[in-house]
Amino acid sequence: MATEINSLSLAISNTDLSSSTLTDNNSTTNQLDPYVAYVDAFKVSYQSTESPLITTPVGSIYPDPFSSLTASTDGTFSLSITSDGWYKFKYIAVPVFVAVTETYAVNDLLYDSADDNLYRCIQGFTGINSPNTRPDLFAVVTDPSTVFDDIGTASDPANIHYQEFDTIVRVNTNKAVGNAATTAALEQCGDCTRSEDVELYELLTVMLDGMAIADGRGLYVNGEKIARRAERLI
């Protein structure tokens, strides 16, 4: 069965949200070295509707024309994030064909840099066989995004690593809290009832903490709802 990993992390720049980076910290993926990684990224609504994101591999020269799935040779992807909320990443790491004797079972996956295609083994063997020259042993996977759906089924590729990574992005709300704190700090009347600035600051901090708690507990629908409401205040 495919190996589930837990080594993905999402780094979002506070100065330029459009250059956020999804990275595989390679705690176990190195075992596949050399490998190529695919990511299918989505923005998810509170109704769990998945909308594809565009990802670009960093340092890669193998873009995939289908959906948002692209290949990267170092497990790092850049993506453009413009809004807070629920994001989902379906990530697989597949070994690259090298000319050494290996054993492959049916459904194993292999990337061939000769034609930049992803292949599935259709007949098990032990030896050295380039996938793009052996149509009797390998079939092209025309849509790599379908691989994730095979995990846990009879077509499970046993030689890959995968991870489904969900997170609640809250960078915009965090920046808004800072701005609201600055504005509220300018309130000079110590006897006044709470001004609107202070109320906005408190509201945004409640929403920010709410998103953090939702992210930590895997309650992504709640995190997305809060993010959408906070967006209207920013």
Partner 1 sequence: MAILNYESIRYQSETKLLELAVEISESSSLKKARLKIYKASKIRYFLKAINSASEVIESTKLNSIYQCLQHTAEITSFPTVPEIGVTTVPAILIGLQGADGADGADGAQGVPGPTGPSGTGSVTLTYTNINSTSLVLDTVTNDPLEGTNSIGVRWDIFAQRQDASPSPMVVGYVIGFRNNAGSVDYFSNVSTILTSSVAFQAVASGDGLDLITTRDTGTQFWQIHVKRYMISDFALV
**Residues that bind partner 1 in the complex, under the rule CB under 8 A:** 199, 202-203, 205-207, 209-211, 213-214, 217, 219, 222, 225-226, 228-230
d(CA 220, CA 223): 5
Short-list 88, 126, 127, 132, CA closest to 110:
132
Cα angle vertex 156, ends 90, 102, to 5°? 105
Which one, 121 or 177, has the nearer CB to partner 1? 177
Collect all residues with Cβ–Cβ distance below 8 Å to 134 and sequence separation of at least 6.
none
CB 105 within 8 A of CB 2: no
Helix axes 196-217, 171-185, angle to 10 degrees: 150
Which one, 153 or 232, has the nearer CB to partner 1? 232
Which one, 131 or 210, has the nearer CB to partner 1? 210
Shortest spacing between CB 190 and partner 1, in angstroms: 18
Shortest spacing between CB 214 and partner 1, in angstroms: 6
Shortest spacing between CB 217 and partner 1, in angstroms: 8
Shortest spacing between CB 181 and partner 1, in angstroms: 13
d(CA 181, CA 31): 47
Which one, 4 or 209, has the nearer CB to partner 1? 209
Which one, 114 or 217, has the nearer CB to partner 1? 217
Short-list 133, 217, 233, 223, CA closest to 176:
233
CA atoms within 13 A on the CB side of 114: 13
Shortest spacing between CB 12 and partner 1, in angstroms: 21
d(CA 68, CA 48): 18
Query: Which helix (H) or strand (E) is 177 found in, with range?
Result: helix 171-185
Which one, 150 or 215, has the nearer CB to partner 1? 215
Shortest spacing between CB 83 and partner 1, in angstroms: 15
Collect all residues with Cβ–Cβ distance below 8 Å to 182 and sequence separation of at least 6.
none
